[in-house]
């Protein structure tokens, strides 16, 4: 055991030293946790390959060291209290507390002054902010006075509190930070997740494979799917927020991550990419901005299309008028009307649905595909905690080329927690799931597609599976 502890400490110290040396070589400084306004140059250092790799090793080793040295009873009880942080984040984001604290300046803001603006009871507000500060989200700079740090600024939309109060429905339009995604997680996801235990252990519900017997259905007393539920009048605010949350999720990967995998730039002039269920077209927009020679058709429901057209007019003026991009209403469970697609793109679509429904989506695309059509699925690939299945090592990218140094977990532990977190979110909101590579291999093959390559852009939370028609 002692040698294992020393091995972990050594990994931490050597990795941190490597990060420090690389920062100096790049004439930069690693961002300061307590500084809410680190320079873009310093934050940009984290995208450097050497720094990103060394940081991952240090984080994985530090988490494993804590798990090894902390009393097991403390670890398991702390895990059972994880809801405390979700609850606190939800209160802070919804009440615009982060904006009020930012407007007060670097010296921070007393809870009484925050309360005067947003109306939250000051004693309860302190009880919400203090566990966050203990988790290094915000700082308590003096008794009941809270200030931002590098992490808490991500809750801030960047808008004035007065502007939010005047037009709360536009809180996330053009917003900075991650507030929309945080509230997706702490509102409907969190409330639905409270019923996962009930639904998962209900043998009748599980046996039915009914898409409308989900934790969300039970939590909110509804018998329709998530997306139809969003379109209900009482969910107008949630529906709009969801669109912006999806845009935030795209920004969680390093800028240009989608361009670092599949070679979009090598595609011929006027290649047609059909972004199926593409929402407002955020991922297509990123590809289009770097590749003006490509064409895009973004398919989704009519309500989303209106938001999408406005988004493109703002971000890439003239693209709609020039015919570089168009929008079309489409139900991806029904026949695909586009028969001349060069690429069908599915980003964060199939994880929403069970295998039965995902098969329907994939089969409709296969029936519409040409022999040369490619299917690109952009999703989380759930890593096995024991290491990947070598059966698929003949497929480029299916199995990582190298493993982390021992004694780290093969999946790097907390560094790669995102796929598991989103998987449980899918269990709460829908009957979908994140999938391992073997799961995807069998599912796509059953629908007439064969995976021929996998891209795992460095630093990105998602992978790109490229498939061809069988």
β-bridge mates for residue 30, sequence order = none
Q: How far apart are CA 370 and CA 336, in angstroms?
A: 12
Say which residues have a Cβ less than 8 Å from residue 465's Cβ, sequence separation at least 6: 376, 377, 378, 379, 381, 440, 444, 451, 453, 454
Question: Do the Cβ atoms of 327 and 256 come closer than 8 Å?
Answer: no
Cis link prior to 250 (omega < 30° from 0)?
Answer: no
Q: How far apart are CA 62 and CA 12, in angstroms?
A: 7
Q: How far apart are CA 451 and CA 444, in angstroms?
A: 8
- Active-site residue, from 351, 380, 394, 439: 351
Q: How far apart are CA 279 and CA 305, in angstroms?
A: 7
Q: How far apart are CA 365 and CA 125, in angstroms?
A: 50
Q: How far apart are CA 404 and CA 97, in angstroms?
A: 40
Q: Copy the structure tokens of residue 68.
A: 């090894």
Q: How far apart are CA 12 and CA 16, in angstroms?
A: 6
Q: Is 351 a catalytic residue?
A: yes
Helices (DSSP H) in 302-402: which residue ranges? 302-315, 355-368
Question: Do the Cβ atoms of 160 and 98 come closer than 8 Å?
Answer: no
DSSP string, 131-168: HHHHTTSSEEEETTEEE--TTGGGG--SS-HHHHHH-G
Question: Do the Cβ atoms of 457 and 249 come closer than 8 Å?
Answer: no
Question: Do the Cβ atoms of 72 and 61 come closer than 8 Å?
Answer: no
DSSP string, 385-421: TT---GGGTTSTTTS-SS-PPTTS-TT-GGGG-HHHH
Cα 426 from chain centre = 12
Strand order in the sheet with 139-142: 109-110, 145-147, 139-142
Which residues are tagged catalytic? 351
């Amino acid at each position: 055991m002692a040698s294992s502890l020393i091995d972990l400490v050594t990994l931490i110290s050597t990795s941190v030293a490597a990060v420090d040396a690389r920062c100096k070589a790049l004439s930069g400084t690693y961002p300061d946790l307590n500084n809410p306004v680190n320079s873009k140059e310093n934050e940009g250092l984290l995208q450097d390959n050497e720094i990103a790799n060394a940081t991952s090793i240090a984080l994985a080793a530090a988490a494993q060291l804590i798990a090894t040295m902390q009393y097991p009873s403390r670890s398991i009880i702390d895990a059972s209290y994880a809801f405390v942080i979700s609850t606190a984040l939800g209160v802070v984001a919804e009440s615009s507390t982060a904006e009020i604290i930012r407007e007060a300046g670097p010296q921070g803001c007393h809870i009484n002054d925050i309360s005067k603006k947003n109306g939250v009871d000051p004693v309860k507000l302190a009880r919400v902010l203090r566990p966050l500060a203990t988790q290094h989200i915000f700082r308590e700079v003096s008794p009941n006075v809270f200030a931002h740090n590098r992490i808490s600024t991500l809750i801030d939309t960047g808008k004035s509190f007065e502007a939010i109060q005047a037009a709360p429905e536009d809180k996330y339009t053009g917003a900075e930070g991650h507030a929309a995604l945080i509230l997706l997680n702490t509102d409907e996801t969190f409330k639905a997740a409270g019923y996962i235990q009930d639904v998962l252990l209900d043998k009748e519900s599980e046996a039915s494979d009914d898409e409308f017997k989900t934790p969300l259905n039970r939590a909110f007393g509804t018998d329709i799917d998530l997306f139809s539920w969003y379109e209900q009048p009482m969910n107008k605010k949630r529906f709009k927020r969801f669109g912006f949350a999806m845009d935030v999720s795209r920004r969680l990967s390093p800028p240009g991550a989608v361009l670092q995998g599949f070679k979009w730039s090598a595609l011929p002039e006027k290649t047609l990419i059909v972004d199926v269920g593409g929402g407002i077209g955020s991922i297509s927009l990123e590809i289009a901005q770097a590749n003006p020679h490509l064409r895009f058709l973004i398919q989704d429901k009519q309500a989303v299309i209106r938001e999408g057209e406005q988004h493109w007019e703002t971000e890439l003026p003239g693209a709609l008028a020039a015919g570089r991009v168009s929008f079309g209403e489409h139900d991806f469970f029904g026949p695909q009307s586009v028969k001349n697609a060069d690429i069908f793109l599915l980003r964060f679509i199939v994880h929403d649905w069970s295998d039965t429904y995902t098969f329907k989506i994939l089969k409709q695309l296969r029936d519409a595909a040409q022999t040369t059509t490619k299917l690109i699925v952009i999703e989380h690939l759930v890593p096995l905690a024991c290491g990947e299945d070598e059966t698929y090592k003949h497929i480029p990218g299916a199995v990582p080329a190298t493993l982390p140094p021992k004694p780290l977990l093969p999946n790097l532990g907390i560094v790669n927690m995102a796929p598991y977190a989103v998987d449980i979110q899918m269990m709460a909101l829908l009957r979908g799931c994140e999938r391992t590579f073997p799961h995807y291999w069998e599912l796509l093959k059953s629908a007439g597609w064969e995976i021929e390559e996998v891209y795992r852009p460095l630093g990105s939370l998602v992978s790109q599976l490229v498939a061809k028609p069988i």
